[in-house]
A and B are shown apart, each in its own frame.
Chain A
Amino acid sequence: MSQPRRLRVALAGNPNAGKSTVFNALTGSHQHVGNWPGKTVEKKEGSFRYRDLWVDIIDLPGTYSLSAYSPEERIAQEFITQEHPDVVVNVVDASNLERNLYLTAQLLEIGVPLIIVLNMTDVAEQLGYKIDVARFSQLLGVPVIPAVASKGEGMEVLREYLYQAAQDPSQFAPPHALVQYEHEMERSVRQLTEALQGLSDLQGYQPRWLAVKLIEGDTQAHDIVAHAPGGDEVLALLDKIMDKLRRTYGEDVDIVLADARYGFVRGLTRQVLTLPKQPPRTLSDRIDQIVTNRWLGIPLFLFLMYLMFNLVQRVSAPYMDWIDSLFSGPVPQWTLAALHALHAPDWLSSLVVDGAIAGVGSVLVFVPSLMVMFFALAFMEDSGYLARAAFVMDKMMGFLGLNGRAFIPMILGFGCNVPAVYATRTIENRGARILTGLLIPFMSCSARLPVYVVFGMAFFGAKAGLVVWSLYLIGIATAAIAGWALARWVFPEVHQSVFVLELPRYRLPTWQGLWLHTWEHTSEFVRKAGTVILGISVLLWFLLNLPWGVTDPRESYFGRVSGALAPVFEPAGFGTWQAAGALVSGFVAKEVVISTMSQIYVGEQEARMGESATPLNWREDARAIVAGFLEATRDAGKAFLDVLTPGVSLFPHDEGAQRETALSRALHNAFTPLSAFAFLVYVLLYTPCAATIAAQAQEYGWRWAGFSVLLGLTTAWVLAVAVFQIGRLLGWG
């Protein structure tokens, strides 16, 4: 008994049933996010301890049913039937019982030990639904636990049941085949089940479930039987049975099976669910009448986007200043002092301070704005608005030959293009999938934001928010035009693929859910800053300082290559070697554009200014850091309230105040507002990063990835030149 016992649990349920809330409530921070082997579907695992029992939980992808038709459903089905979890916990939305129980019916058919979590009973209660839980559990022969996972209600009971399951999981196996089919169908299922029972190698599948899947026409089930010794005879029998079934039911044999499941579900809900006499008009429906309104929907969407970017801009700015002050003051000073104490050579000090710390620091500055951005995206997703945005945009997307479903990967592109490219897998039509993948890079990802912010604050002052917003719009407009042209000439076969999307009930996101979302993405970014960006910063330092002893960066290897490229950007107004150099390193990752610039420009400037020699005072520095953070928090709070009350300025901020960092001073010497804007347009539209190219190559092949790079480079150049030249004609230059 010294070895703790372990229980393996799979969490299954519909999308939006609150599966991840249950998962988070059970595991807390003990979780690990990865991918299913060979798939790009997210895999979440976690564990928790209850008395002397360790419970390992695998969060299966959210699915409406179990079939082999989508990667998510296939993963869920394969895991349950082949990996043999001890228990499956099925999370069911109590306020949407009938639809959710379709999946439950299939889980019962499989015959695994099952525990049902009847989640969101508070919502069901508000709607006036009464559910007879005891009867429910009695009819199914498995435990049914009422719960409100977002408040932790019912989780203790669930833990207790899981503890019981560890003694003997089979006590929670459904007692007999609950889903019964119609006369002839039932006879066929039984006949086939018997034949399958004679086979030796069913790869863990239960014969009855496999029989049902065979009749449904599931290709995976077909393959399993074909590979089993003696499977040919069973398949011959299947052909005969199918002939007979088609004579009785017509071509839609699979629909007959679905019908029987819904029949079972309806019978069940009739016995356990009492509906109110007059169904209430839900708040969710009332919100939808406004949000998805024909005339209001799109303006409202644009307004929310504007609000979001303003929030990102204004709330994060004080924190960014604070981090910036760390990396321009105490951190390099303390490091230099430490290196001196260790008698490090000057070149090493320069590598560490001017290369590594300056490079990584200039990227870490953007962590606050990314956090706000990820938080806002998570809020839109968890509240249910994101699906509405897809609904509202479907008609517009039709213009690009795409549908509203393609809109979600594109919105995700605002966070990061890489997961967005993978998210196109949910689009069935291959042409539509590739087309969406080609347009995603025009969605301005969060890594591009730092570049806009630095330039925006340096050149456009209080109008920086507007400039950033306009860049996002230019990205969307470019995607629209490119999409229209590509759908017309490159993918003529992409006619409207099918758009089906559930609009989940609006709900107030939980802090825990939002925080986990935000943290996951931010920590990924910080890891990247610690590895890729550190590597590039160090490499860049060498390129800037080689050949050995070079004093003028223009004469370095980096300067020479960038100088050769610079004339290409002359017509766009930024034909300097520094700008070209920043764009070259930005090809690897956009985060690097700013760190490159600060290495080139600020490095140059500091060389002129010489080092300021202030004596170190640790205690004074530490006090200043803490005070700075508190002040930043106060300013961010004010900005937050200001942004949320558009039109009313509660805390008017000083219009003239601009962030005067070393970099923004240097940029003023190198750019005019017009050439700065042209530069931003170029940064917006050219290849987002090496990782996106790799993702595109993986999903659509190298040919399309190459096409995407060319598309980005040419569009970016043409538009940046157009902005600069037209601006000059209008006398803005």
Chain B
Amino acid sequence: MTDRAMPLTMLPPGRAGRIVEIHAGQRLKQRLVGMGLAPGNTVQVLQDNGGPLLLAVGESRIALGRGMAHKILVQSVPLPTPRGEFAP
């Protein structure tokens, strides 16, 4: 569970993952990278209501459509600091 890559949508709320791969066209990929969704960066899922995901990327909060989130592969990582308050 810790080293296998999985789609971002499978990360439970409150957990964090390191981005491994983004499957998207170059244009879209560049946009995501500019917003901080770059391979190597850590993202945390703050909310998953079945619609778009609410992510914490560093200090930014980013809304990401489910379709796109499926195509971002992450490795689950422990949170660097306790931020478990978002877990149910």
Contacts and interface: CB of A to CB of B under 8 A. Distances in A.
Given A254-B30, A278-B82, A502-B62, A285 B39 contact: no
Interface stretch (A96-104, A483-491, A560-568, A717-725): A96-104
Interface in A641-669: none
A281 B83 CA distance: 8
A102 to B, nearest CB: 6
A395 B63 CA distance: 12
A460 B75 CA distance: 60
A45 B15 CA distance: 44
B31 A69 contact: yes
A335 interface: no
Given A99-B58, A404-B65, A254 B52 contact: no
B31 A254 contact: no
A281 B56 CA distance: 12
A119 interface: no
Interface in A401-460: 403-404, 428
Contacts of A77: none
B36 A99 contact: yes
B34 A65 contact: yes
B36 A98 contact: yes
A150 interface: no
B28 to A, nearest CB: 6
By size class, the interface of chain A is 35 or more
B40 to A, nearest CB: 6
B38 A255 contact: yes
A68 B14 CA distance: 35
A503 B29 contact: no
Nearest to A503: B61
B49 interface: yes
B81 interface: yes
Contact of A394 (B37, B57, B65): B65
A498 B35 CA distance: 14
B30 A499 contact: no
A284 B46 CA distance: 13
B54 interface: yes
A217 B62 CA distance: 26
Contact of B39 (A67, A259, A289, A293): A259
B31 A102 contact: no
A255 B83 contact: no
A390 B63 contact: yes
Contacts of B65: 394, 403-404, 496, 498-500
Nearest to B59: A96
A255 B52 contact: no
Given A99-B58, A292-B54, A64 B38 contact: no
B81 A278 contact: yes
Contact of B31 (A70, A216, A505): A70
A502 B31 contact: no
Interface string A89-107: 0000001111100110000
A404 B59 contact: no
Interface string A164-175: 000000000000
Interface in B19-54: 22, 24, 26-41, 46-47, 49-52, 54
B32 to A, nearest CB: 6
14 contacts: A65-B33, A98-B58, A99-B57, A262-B41, A289-B47, A294-B49, A395-B52, A404-B52, A496-B65, A499-B67, A500-B65, A502-B35, A502-B62, A503-B61
Interface of A: 63-65, 67, 69-70, 95-99, 102-103, 127, 216-217, 252, 254-255, 258-259, 262-263, 275, 277-279, 281, 284-285, 288-289, 292-294, 387, 390-391, 394-395, 398, 403-404, 428, 496, 498-505
Instruction: Please name the 3 residue pairs, one residue from A and one from B, whose CB atoms are nearest each other, closest first.
Output: A499-B65, A64-B34, A65-B34
Given A96-B59, A99-B58, A500-B65, 6 more contacts: A127-B59, A259-B39, A259-B40, A391-B54, A500-B64, A502-B62
